[in-house]
Amino acid sequence: MELTSAIPGRLETINTFKDDGGSVAAVFPIHYPRALLRAFDILPVEVWGPPGVDPSQGASQLQPYICSLVHNMLAFLKTGGLKITDYLIVPHTCDSLQGFGSILIDFVSPRQPVIPIYIPRGRRDSDVDFFAAEFAAIYTRLQEITSRSPSDEEIMGCILREEQADMLLAKLHKQRDGLPFSDLQYYRFIRTREYLPAENFSQLAQETLSQAGESQRNSGIPIILSGIVPEPMSLFETITDLGGMVVADDLAGCGRRLYPTGKSEEPFQRMAESIIHAPPDPTRGNSLQERLDHLLNLQNISGAKGVVFYNIKFCEPELFDLPILRKGLREAGVPSIPIEVDVNDPFSQQTITRLEAFLETIE
C-alpha cells in the first residue's frame, strides 16, 4: 500500500521525462513498439479515453455508435488534454480507431505529427515480416522528424529493457495472490506500465515482488475478467464489495499484453515477434478457438469459478466473439456473464444487481 501511494502519476512522469530533454507520445490502444519510441528518446504514454471527458466535443465527427473510448479520445484531444505531448501514435486496432486516425490526419490536423501503425491479423511468418516492415517504416518517419538515427545496438538495448519490464509484469500476474494488494491497488499498479519508463517500472516491480509471500488476499469468489479496459476502476471495489475476487484477466490493456521475449537478433523482427505471439486478441485476428483455449487455461490455472465479460458498448471485436466464446465456456462447465458499459457512466444499480446475482450463482 505504501508503494502504490508513492508511484508518480502520468502528468508527473511526463514532466520529469521532458525536463530531462525527452519527448512524449500519446499512444492510443492497443499494440505498439515501445522500444522503438524509446530509442528516439520518446516516452510512450497510453490514452485509454480517458473516462470522465465530455464526449460531445467529438460528436460532430464521430457516429453515435462508435465506442466511448474513441469519443473520449477525440474530445480529450480537441479540448487540449494532449497539448503536452509531441506525437500521436494511432494503431489501427479496429475500424473505430482506424477511422479516428483518418479524422486526425484529414480533418483535425493537430499540431503533433500523427503516426499510424498498421497491425497484421494473424500469427504467420508473413505477419511477423509485415509488422517488422511497418516498424522499419515508423523508424524512417521518426528519423525524418527528429533528425536522429538510433543504431541497431541502441534499439536492441531498448528492446532488452522493455523485455525485462515485460518479464516482471508477467511475474506480477503469476504471483498476484501473494501480493499485499487489493484488486483495485493491484490493477492501479500494473497499469503504470501504460506510462512509466520501463526502467522505472522494473524497479517498482522488483520492490513489489520482494514483498510477495503466501496468499495475502481476503477470500472471495474467484473470477476472470475479460474485455478491453477496466474503466471505471471502481469496478474492482464493486466486485470486492459483492464478495468477488479477480484471480486472472483477459483484458486487452492488461493480460493480453504479457508479451513474450522475441527470438530474432534483428530489432524490428524481434519487436514484431513479441507482439504477434502475445496472448490471443480479437484485434489481432486470433481465432476463436485460440481465445477459448486461453480462457479455459486461465480458468484451470487460477481456479476461477466464472468469467465476467466486461465490454465497452459498440466494441465490435469483442462483441463478434462473445456468443461463441460463451457457448464454448458453457460446454466446458464454466459460467459467464456479459456486462456492457460506457466508460463515462458510473455503475448502474441494474448492473450491480446482475453481477451480484452471477456471483451468488457460482459461489
Start-end of H helices in 254-347: 267-276, 288-302, 316-331
Whether 203 contacts 226, CB under 8 Å:
no
pLDDT in tens, 151-178: 999 999 999 999 999 999 999 999 999 9
Cα 37 to Cα 267: distance, rounded to the nearest angstrom:
13
Amino acid at 227: G
* Residue that has been written with the C-alpha cell 465479460 in this structure: 309
The cell numbers describing 26, all together, are 500519446
Q: Residue 212: its pLDDT value, please?
A: 83
Tell me the pLDDT band of 58, cut-offs 50, 70 and 90. Answer: confident
* Burial bucket for residue 348 (CB in 10 Å: 0-12, 13-18, 19+): exposed
The sheet carrying 244-251 orders its strands as 244-251, 221-227, 306-312, 336-341
Cα 189 to Cα 317: distance, rounded to the nearest angstrom:
27
DSSP per residue, 124-176:
SHHHHHHHHHHHHHHHHHHHHHH-----HHHHHHHHHHHHHHHHHHHHHHHTG
Q: Which of 6-10, 92-96, 306-310 has the lowest mean pLDDT?
A: 6-10
Q: Residue 112: its pLDDT value, please?
A: 98
Q: What does the CA dihedral 286, 288, 290, 295 come to, rounded to 10 degrees?
A: 120
Answer whether residue 122 shows pLDDT above 80: yes
* Domains detected in the chain: 6-152 (3.40.50.11890)
Please state the pTM of the whole predicted model: 0.95
Q: Residue 77: its pLDDT value, please?
A: 96
pLDDT in tens, 232-281: 899 999 999 999 999 999 999 999 999 999 999 999 999 999 999 999 99
* Burial bucket for residue 5 (CB in 10 Å: 0-12, 13-18, 19+): exposed
Answer whether residue 309 shows pLDDT above 80: yes
Share of the chain above pLDDT 70, in %: 98
Helix (H/G/I), strand (E/B), else coil: 244: strand
* Burial bucket for residue 11 (CB in 10 Å: 0-12, 13-18, 19+): exposed
Q: Residue 218: its pLDDT value, please?
A: 61
- What interhelical angle do 267-276 and 152-174 show, nearest 10? 20
DSSP per residue, 185-220:
HHHHHHGGGGTS-HHHHHHHHHHHHTT--S--SPP-
